[in-house]
């Protein structure tokens, strides 16, 4: 039976060579060896071969970095505008294990900004719909739905399982509980929030007691009653959060620890503001 290298095409991008195996060939190769889609992707990346679905990530990501993403597990807390976009972005860039937590169902008011809110998904569990979508996107991804709200009790169970947690929540109480639980568990947290045309992102790293105090103070300043949310702002903040999560998984320095990335949709300006 053929090796993956023999099945792969040699391509050049930005002056560098990569090996790419078509998804059809990878599926056939896996079936001959009784391997799951996940095992096939993991084996390919370990051998330096890019599955076709990750080809365009190169050379931004090496095969070793792609494998590290694929083996990482991330908790997406909340699956509304921010969380739904985050789950999709993380799965597409190659994060291979996602815990998807939200106890809510899609409603008509979600249609203006939540990517997986459609007429056909109204009334359905956000966690279940998101997991199905990610499995359809890439059957090698382990997408575990958690169709209930996170709280101080169940966070103690979920957080030790993950490399990073991303904040897609929409209430101050839930966010404060998540921030405190992540800090206590020693898990990096990428916070994001949106109100109308404005958005913000910051990162809390383990053992950063000053950062914990600063973030809790930031959350205390947010208007609890703000309900207006625009889709372009949501997707922009989710993109910044996803980039930061990837940096953390790959062991790179966080961009937003000790800083608040603040976007003003009225002026189009993104400012990086020190937290002190």
> Which residue ranges make up each domain of the chain?
4-67, 72-274
Looking at residue 225, its pLDDT comes to 46
Give the pLDDT band of residue 228 (cuts 50, 70, 90): confident
Burial classification of residue 265, based on how many CB atoms lie within 10 Å of its CB (0-12 exposed, 13-18 middle, 19 or more buried): middle
For position 194, what pLDDT does the model report? 94
Instruction: Provide the percentage of residues in the chain whose pLDDT is more than 70.
Output: 97
| pTM metric for this prediction | 0.95
Does 79 score more than 70 pLDDT? yes
Residues 202-214 have pLDDT tens digits of 999 999 999 999 9
Where do the H-state alpha helices sit in 56-122?
63-71, 81-93
Indicate the CATH number of 72-274 among 3.40.980.10, 3.40.50.720, 3.30.470.30, 3.30.1360.70: 3.40.50.720
Residues in the chain: 276
Q: What is the mean pLDDT of the chain?
A: 94
Q: E strands within the chain?
A: 9-13, 16-21, 49-51, 73-77, 97-101, 142-146, 164-167, 189-195, 198-204, 259-264, 269-274
Cα–Cα distance measured from residue 169 to residue 23, given in angstroms and rounded to the nearest whole number: 35
pLDDT, tens digit, 9 for 90 and up, residues 167-200? 999 888 999 999 999 999 999 999 999 999 999 9
């Amino acid at each position: 039976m053929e090796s993956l290298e023999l099945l792969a095409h040699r391509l050049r991008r930005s002056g560098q060579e990569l090996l790419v195996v078509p998804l059809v060939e990878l599926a056939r190769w896996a079936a001959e060896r009784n391997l799951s889609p996940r095992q096939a992707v993991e084996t390919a990346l370990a051998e330096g071969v890019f599955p076709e679905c990750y080809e365009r990530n190169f050379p931004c990501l090496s095969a070793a970095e792609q494998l590290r993403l694929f083996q990482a597990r991330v908790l997406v807390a909340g699956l509304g505008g921010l969380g739904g976009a985050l789950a999709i972005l993380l799965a597409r860039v190659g994060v291979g294990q996602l815990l998807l937590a939200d106890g809510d169902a899609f409603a008509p008011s979600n249609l203006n900004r939540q990517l997986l809110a459609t007429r056909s998904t109204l009334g359905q569990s956000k966690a279940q719909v998101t997991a199905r979508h990610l499995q359809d996107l890439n059957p090698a991804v382990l997408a575990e739905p958690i169709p209930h709200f996170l709280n101080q009790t169940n966070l103690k169970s979920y957080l030790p399982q993950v490399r990073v947690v991303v904040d897609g929540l929409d209430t101050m109480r839930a966010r404060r509980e998540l921030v405190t639980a992540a800090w206590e568990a020693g898990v990096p947290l990428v916070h994001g929030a949106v109100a109308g045309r404005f958005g913000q992102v910051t990162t809390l790293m383990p053992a950063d007691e000053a950062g914990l105090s600063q973030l809790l103070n930031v959350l205390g300043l947010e208007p609890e009653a703000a309900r207006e949310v625009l889709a372009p702002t949501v997707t922009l903040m989710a993109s910044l959060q996803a980039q930061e999560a990837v940096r953390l998984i790959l062991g790179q320095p966080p961009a937003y620890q000790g800083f608040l990335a603040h976007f003003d949709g009225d002026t189009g300006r993104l400012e990086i503001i020190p937290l002190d």
